Structure 1
Amino acid sequence: MSKMLSVKDLAVSFQTRRGEVDAVRGISFEVAKGEILGIVGESGSGKSVTSYALMRILDAGGVIKAGEATYSGIDLRRAAEHDMRDIRGREISMIFQNPRAALNPICKVGHQIEDVLRHHARATRYDARAKAIAALEAVKINDAEARYDAYPFELSGGMCQRIVCAIALACDPRLLIADEPTTGLDITTQKAVMDLVRDLIRERGMSSILITHDLGLAAQYCDRILVMKDGVIVEQGDPVQIFSDPQHPYSRKLVDATPRAGETVRSLLPPQERGEELTPTVSDQPILEVRDLTKTYAGKSGPVHAVKGISFMINQGQCVGLVGESGCGKSTTSEILVRLMDATSGQIIFDGHDIARVPARSFAKDSRRADIQMVFQDATDSLNPRHTARQTISEPLRRLARMRGAKLAVRIEELAVLVGLPLPLLDRFPHQLSGGQKARVGIARAIALDPKFLILDEPTAALDVSIQAVVLNLLVDLRAKLGLSYLFVSHDFHVVRLLCDHVIVMKDGEIVEQGAAEQVMSNPQSDYTNALLAAAPKPPQRRNIS
């Protein structure tokens, strides 16, 4: 197959206050016409920097130090900036990781597509609207004419990702770079977006680079895989070969950390780190009972029923998974339970008391506030960037337990040890911590007041697989050590299967199925649950370990 892109000995560095940092160190690869090339690896491996270098959109301080990048005979490294502006979008386009950040929040999505079309002379002011609507239709957006006038904040995450795809594909580029295009999307939306990208690539004779830390996704959609670590390519080849028999220790670590059916959370860790798995004690007494919970909002064209009379129970020491697509009511339910939002009707019997009767505004001062805590989805966004880890963990202790002085300092260090956060990191700010370290800070803050019940809202969704494995094992151990009960909100069925005793499946504000985790996963009774399971990327089979 003829080459679309050729990269030879590419090296990228950044100037920092601590000196020069080599982010990409002499990598070489090719992309053939019609090929989907996957680049996998963890945060900091150089995946995204490689793509930004190809597009010539490196952050300030970033520079291509050496190497060649040739696209269809064009030297991308030495091309003039005005030529690159013409190439970007028309010849090479990019789908960015965070669709909401990639879209202009104060500009209608249709106008944003028009801007790209007109910039590359693919439309005039007379036909730009029609072509923008056609671009929306090409990415399977229903009622595209109405969506043309929508702002990003009016659309779901999956819809925003389709808009980003429409912008990237509007000018019929020949090479599409997709940088973590499905992070944070539910599994059916993820499958829809990836199927759409794959089909458009085939229909239009394009090539693509898929950058991801999801090995299951890469195995399902890529023709060839590169594995990156610390700015170098450590392994490359056919997905089946790499995932069934990885040759490099780092590749083996990634494959082994990927959750699969029939295994335990301990099996995700390297053998030397596993230790003994602690067994939680589950009582037959409920810690939480939800009865006929309803949440209704006033909408422009009538009431919007976000939660429609759901009922379920969580026993003491139990971990219950709550799964479903975006918009199914998972987050609304979680926010009502943690008392950040009032229900329209229904009861929340927590530890024998109906806490739904206490207004959310007043619950912060309620004596049971300390007993119900939450670990949020994005550890970065949930931490105050101006507070050190120590200050973050101290917040609930100072505000609710009125703890001060030496007693406070001792408790913070106890919590750091409990969650595996090295003590020297307590005085670092969030931007100085890794994703896994920030997750540990968020967990330490949540358990600071010895709660009885934790709501875990996608706590590992944005983490690399090996970091996810460590955090999941931490959660399992804390549940056993502290006697915690969990509501684990997720769209990752593989993780839910490993972690949860019981599963609740929601759709359109209603519970469509619930039961023992293994039973629901192995023998789902609802067509909707079946569809969710079918949409989940199939992780590569574990290599044979002799």
Structure 2
Amino acid sequence: MLSVNDLAVSFRTRRGEVKAVRGISFALARGETLGIVGESGSGKSVTSYALLRILDAGGTIRTGGVTYGGIDLRAASERGMRDIRGREISMIFQNPRAALNPIRKVGHQIEDVLRQHGRASRQDARAKAIKALADVRINDPEARYDAYPFELSGGMCQRVVIAIALACDPKLLIADEPTTGLDITTQKAVMDLTRDLIRARGMSSILITHDLGLAAEYCDRLAVMKDGEIVETGAAADVFARPRHPYTARLVDATPRPGADLRALLPAEARTPLVPHAVSNTPLLEVQGLTKTYTGKSGPVHAVKGIDFTIRQGASVGLVGESGCGKSTTSSMLVRLLDPSAGRILFDGQDIGAIPADRFARNPLRGAIQMVFQDATDSLNPRHTARDTIGEPLRRLTTLDGAARRARVEELAAMTGLPAGLLDRFPHQLSGGQKARVGIARAIATDPRLLILDEPTAALDVSIQAVVLNLLADLRTRLGMSYLFVSHDLNVVRLLCDEVIVMQGGEIVEAGPAAQVMDAPAHPYTRALLGAAPKPPSAPRSPQAPDRAAE
């Protein structure tokens, strides 16, 4: 169905030409699902944009050919490509909210595609758009037709994007990181739905992802990309179980899985003994009857419903659950960015929940409770250098000044593995892993006793995630901090946490030691969460010949 031969793509930049894709070749059979895997910057998304000829300004296909069903896509006119896009080849983009028009009803956006390709008239477009929503199993599709994207959850928006992509019955679907940012059960629902629709319609598909576990579960074959090149291809199970290229082996090793430990995720040369951390029986944080209620159009909305839990000094507690379960609302109340409606938050015996959020910023305990936010990019001021960002809490919450503050910033950078030469760079000049280190350095600047981590590795490549998780484990031991680790990735929680709290619908449905909750879950919802997690094949054997040519 699709043949790519010696494809090379480059971009013009102020610093010269950047070669993003360097002469790759692969083929896709009818009915096959190919996974293109690799880390950020490997060229996998650029490859998909080149296939559809939707490269950003400055991007050029330098060499190679792309043939779809006998059609030379590189030689096709732009008018011809507009006819192919959506009708023959469709794409699901990474960020569903960004892919949808925020001021246009979702039903109208589906109609746009149907009418553009002559699949609907003015008279029947609405009915066909509602059917497209029903096909992706959206509840009450007639009502959702009139909804705007901001009125829908992330999972719902992703279903709308899938409905748009499949509206014209294309033969090839390209999914670019379709589950980034979705919680684990929504991710499974979206991936199962996409797989079922592809099979039912006899389509071919390409899944682009940095999640090897996800690719191994849903793809027939894998192509592994690094630095713009394909370094290995093969059947998904074979690539995972017997990686032939050292880079593939590193990616597989870094994939969290049951039974692994934190150090096993790092390259062998970077592994050192993990120092046990001391957990006291003394409570650091006690939550009693914590409640948060909002006033909605149809009455009160109970986001958090009277929950109770304790975090002991030195402990790492995982807080897991689906989007909308109340875990982010809970963490925002604990860090005092949000006022509770009822209940108590006792930190070292003091009820900090009684202090209004707008006054807590000036409280001496402000520096003792800090937070690492989910999106390292969005949580950093784009106009502040890394040095300014790390130094901000020192300026606001300590008496350090001048040389002492500069020395402390450099100490924090060294502690988090951020090279001193990067301190004067702005966020856009840093990689995802480097921005994560800046966020962590800022959070630990005031020697907090409790660190709340809100999905700190959700957007990171698997090997960078491994480094950040190990960094957090080391800092916990060295600085004696307690962690509340908010995440939807149960394999990551298993690695880092001593105890786990499971939330559903604003309530705690299960809590206990991590091993007990993960290995013998008592609540049906916990079992459902564990069942939804991607299941990577068992750990691979190391490549026998690191310098052997890849397939």
TM-score scaled by structure 1?
Answer: 0.98
SS in 1 for 2:417: coil
1:69, 1:343 → 2: CA distance? 57
- The structural deviation recorded for 1:154 is 1.2
Q: Match of 1:234?
A: 231
- The structural deviation recorded for 1:83 is 1.1
AA matched with 2:498: D
Q: Match of 1:96?
A: 93
**1:63 and 2:33 equivalent?**
no
1:31, 1:544 → 2: CA distance? 28
SS in 2 for 1:304: strand
2:494, 2:395 → 1: CA distance? 37
**1:22 and 2:49 equivalent?**
no
Return 5+ residue gaps in structure 2 as ranges: 545-551
Deviation per CA, 1:193-228, whole angstroms, max 9, x where unpaired?
Answer: 001111111111110000011111111110000000
Quick one: which of 412, 429, 434 aligns to 2:431?
434
Deviation per CA, 1:490-542, whole angstroms, max 9, x where unpaired?
Answer: 11111000110000000000000000000000000000100110110002211
Q: Match of 1:508?
A: 505
**1:444 and 2:437 equivalent?**
no
Q: Match of 2:218?
A: 221
Q: Match of 2:549?
A: none
Deviation per CA, 1:406-461, whole angstroms, max 9, x where unpaired?
Answer: 11110110000000000000111111111100000000010111111011001001
1:279, 1:53 → 2: CA distance? 49
Stretch deviating more after TM superposition (255-264 or 439-448): 255-264
Asked if 2 retains the 8 angstrom alpha-carbon contact of 1:11 and 1:64, the reply is yes
SS in 1 for 2:180: coil
- The structural deviation recorded for 1:402 is 4.4
**1:305 and 2:302 equivalent?**
yes
Quick one: which of 346, 359, 363 aligns to 1:362?
359
1:155, 1:401 → 2: CA distance? 42
What do you get for the CA RMSD once the two structures are aligned? 0.9
Q: Match of 2:327?
A: 330
Deviation per CA, 1:116-160, whole angstroms, max 9, x where unpaired?
Answer: 111111112211111111111110100111111111111111111
Q: Match of 2:537?
A: 540
AA matched with 1:491: H
2:121, 2:348 → 1: CA distance? 64
- The structural deviation recorded for 1:261 is 1.4
1:407, 1:168 → 2: CA distance? 56
SS in 2 for 1:282: coil
Q: Match of 1:173?
A: 170
1:417, 1:278 → 2: CA distance? 19
Q: Match of 1:161?
A: 158
1:462, 1:200 → 2: CA distance? 27
- The structural deviation recorded for 1:77 is 1.1
1:447, 1:153 → 2: CA distance? 34
Q: Match of 2:548?
A: none
TM-score scaled by structure 2?
Answer: 0.98
Matches within 5 A, 1:416-431: 416-431=413-428
Quick one: which of 408, 412, 432 aligns to 1:411?
408
2:244, 2:536 → 1: CA distance? 18
AA matched with 2:245: H
1:528, 1:161 → 2: CA distance? 23
SS in 2 for 1:65: strand
**1:498 and 2:495 equivalent?**
yes
- The structural deviation recorded for 1:68 is 0.2
SS in 1 for 2:279: coil
Q: Match of 1:246?
A: 243
Quick one: which of 463, 467, 470 aligns to 2:464?
467
**1:352 and 2:363 equivalent?**
no
Deviation per CA, 1:30-67, whole angstroms, max 9, x where unpaired?
Answer: 11110000000000000000001011111111000000
Return 5+ residue gaps in structure 1 as ranges: none
**1:272 and 2:292 equivalent?**
no
Matches within 5 A, 1:251-266: 251-266=248-263
SS in 2 for 1:403: coil
- The structural deviation recorded for 1:85 is 1.1
2:79, 2:388 → 1: CA distance? 47
Quick one: which of 33, 36, 53 aligns to 1:36?
33
Q: Match of 1:321?
A: 318
1:111, 1:485 → 2: CA distance? 49
**1:212 and 2:209 equivalent?**
yes
2:279, 2:69 → 1: CA distance? 62
Q: Match of 1:291?
A: 288
Pair 1:402–1:152, CA change in 2 (3 A): farther
Matches within 5 A, 1:56-205: 56-205=53-202
| Percent identity between the two aligned chains | 74
**1:381 and 2:378 equivalent?**
yes
Deviation per CA, 1:3-35, whole angstroms, max 9, x where unpaired?
Answer: x10000000000111100100000000111100
- The structural deviation recorded for 1:271 is 1.1
2:400, 2:174 → 1: CA distance? 51
AA matched with 1:475: L
AA matched with 2:267: P
SS in 2 for 1:410: helix
1:92, 1:388 → 2: CA distance? 42
SS in 1 for 2:243: coil
AA matched with 1:296: T
AA matched with 1:217: L
2:122, 2:367 → 1: CA distance? 58
Asked if 2 retains the 8 angstrom alpha-carbon contact of 1:294 and 1:346, the reply is yes
- The structural deviation recorded for 1:403 is 3.2
AA matched with 2:486: V
1:539, 1:472 → 2: CA distance? 19
AA matched with 1:470: V
SS in 1 for 2:65: strand
Q: Match of 1:281?
A: 278
- The structural deviation recorded for 1:280 is 1.2
Asked if 2 retains the 8 angstrom alpha-carbon contact of 1:255 and 1:540, the reply is no
Asked if 2 retains the 8 angstrom alpha-carbon contact of 1:215 and 1:540, the reply is no
